[in-house]
Amino acid sequence: MIHKFTKRANQMKPSDMRIILTAGEQPDLISFAGGLPAAELFPMEALKKASEAVLTEDGPVALQYSPTEGYAPLRQKTLERMEAIGIQANLNQVMITSGSQQAIDLTGRLFLDEGDTVICESPTYLAALNVFNLCNAHIVDVEMDENGMIMEMLEKRLQENPQAKFIYTIPDFQNPTGRTLSLDRRKQMLELAQQYDVLILEDNPYGAIRFSGTPIPPIKHFDREGRVIYMSSFSKIFAPGLRLGWICADEAIIEKYMGFKESADMHSDGFAQRITSKYMEQNDIDVHIEKINAAYRDRCQTMYECVNQYFPETVSCVKPAGGLFIWVELPDTIDSRKISITGLEKGVAVLSGDAFFATGSKRNALRLNFSNTSEERIIEGMKRIGEVLHQELRI
């Protein structure tokens, strides 16, 4: 039988996301491949209490269809969380989404016609690249250094692509590099966006996962004209299985998002929204975040020390101040795809850096996730990957 797929479906390439999501389900494998939060730190008892309360107090409503924009008390709480980091908005400017992945997907539907240009960091979040590719967008990437996107390069790209629709940026502890966009560059990016009249898509799921240094205000904080679409998520600070994220943008933009969300899933899981909201009423979520950050700080430190101890001296790596990932750049002679295949044979999953480049051509980096593995297993896994790297250099 011939499957009469769309052109879009036929273009779809096998995704590394599937490797990540299934690797998480094999207990013996040491997986540094995903971006999974530590499951043992999910606040289980408090969640049981919150779920029980939701079912007892308003079970039928929680299980009924509900408004597309999301459960108002939860939207209010996201508003307060944004206010605490310097974003001024009102309730009509917030919509709950099914994870921030849906927020990115809806953004593609809303802004990208075939051939439209998106400007991204290089490298960037692979599932955002997947969205933009499925929209048949033209992806233009901008090199980064330790302070994020390089502004001179961004300006050059804007000059070359005056019709670009938006700049996609992950300002804090970027996926995959762990880098943070400096304060000056945040302001400069907004100025450039104004000058060249493009939107900014600020994807910030990791901002609260900071374990050293001082927080930097989001780009949205400086936005006075609704040029920044801000999105974040409960996945990293709470539990990704609940699939809850949010978008904050001007009302006219949110209205449009709602039209597309209605077609996608009508609304995000109402029960999950109420459980999350109830949890936040009954508990201080920031105490929970401090607890996970403390564990991630230790795991990150252990992994970083292992890079220095077990990896060849020719690798380079900067310790991130937050987030879930360490990015390791390998000598040019090493093919990171090969390392990830040999790593799997040795029982360790790592992601080859090429997945995060729009062109997929740069094959000498690895993204290592530290949040979902105990320090003991981090040490074991890093020793094994270290051996694979030394072996590869000897060939």
Instruction: Kindly tell me which residue out of 70, 178, 245, 320 binds ligand PMP, with binding defined by CB under 6 A.
Output: 245
Q: Which of residues 147-166 bind ligand PMP (CB under 6 A)?
A: none
277 lines the binding site for ligand PMP (CB under 6 A): no
Q: How far apart are CA 301 and CA 375, in angstroms?
A: 9
| Distance set, CA 377 to CA 24, 317, 334, 390 (Å) | 14, 20, 25, 20
Instruction: Kindly tell me which residue out of 66, 78, 100, 107 binds ligand PMP, with binding defined by CB under 6 A.
Output: 100
- Length in residues, the chain: 395
Contacts of 208 (CB under 8 A, 6+ apart): 236, 237, 289
125 lines the binding site for ligand PMP (CB under 6 A): yes
Scanning 93-101, 157-165, 182-190, 249-257 for contacts with ligand PMP by CB under 6 A, the matching segment is: 93-101
Nearest distance, CB of residue 177 and ligand PMP, angstroms: 11
Q: Which is nearer to ligand PMP, 127 or 389 (CB)?
A: 127
Scanning 21-29, 95-103, 218-226, 337-345 for contacts with ligand PMP by CB under 6 A, the matching segment is: 95-103
Which of 378, 227, 387 is closest to 306 using CA atoms?
A: 378
Q: Which is nearer to ligand PMP, 93 or 175 (CB)?
A: 175
Nearest distance, CB of residue 160 and ligand PMP, angstroms: 25
170 lines the binding site for ligand PMP (CB under 6 A): yes
Q: Which is nearer to ligand PMP, 237 or 254 (CB)?
A: 237
43 lines the binding site for ligand PMP (CB under 6 A): no
Nearest distance, CB of residue 391 and ligand PMP, angstroms: 30
Instruction: Kindly tell me which residue out of 35, 123, 207, 270 binds ligand PMP, with binding defined by CB under 6 A.
Output: 35
Q: Which of residues 352-381 bind ligand PMP (CB under 6 A)?
A: none
Beta bridge pairs of residue 139:
118
Nearest distance, CB of residue 276 and ligand PMP, angstroms: 13
Instruction: Kindly tell me which residue out of 70, 205, 218, 270 binds ligand PMP, with binding defined by CB under 6 A.
Output: 205
**Residues 101-120, mask of contacts with ligand PMP (x by CB under 6 A):** x-------------------
Q: How far apart are CA 191 and CA 71, in angstroms?
A: 35
Q: Which is nearer to ligand PMP, 93 or 100 (CB)?
A: 100
Radius of gyration in angstroms for the set of CA atoms belonging to the chain, rounded to a whole number = 21
Q: Is the peptide bond before 60 cis (omega within 30 degrees of 0)?
A: no
Nearest distance, CB of residue 232 and ligand PMP, angstroms: 8
Q: Which residues of the chain form contacts with ligand PMP (CB under 6 A)?
A: 35, 99-101, 125, 170, 175, 203, 205, 233, 235, 240, 245
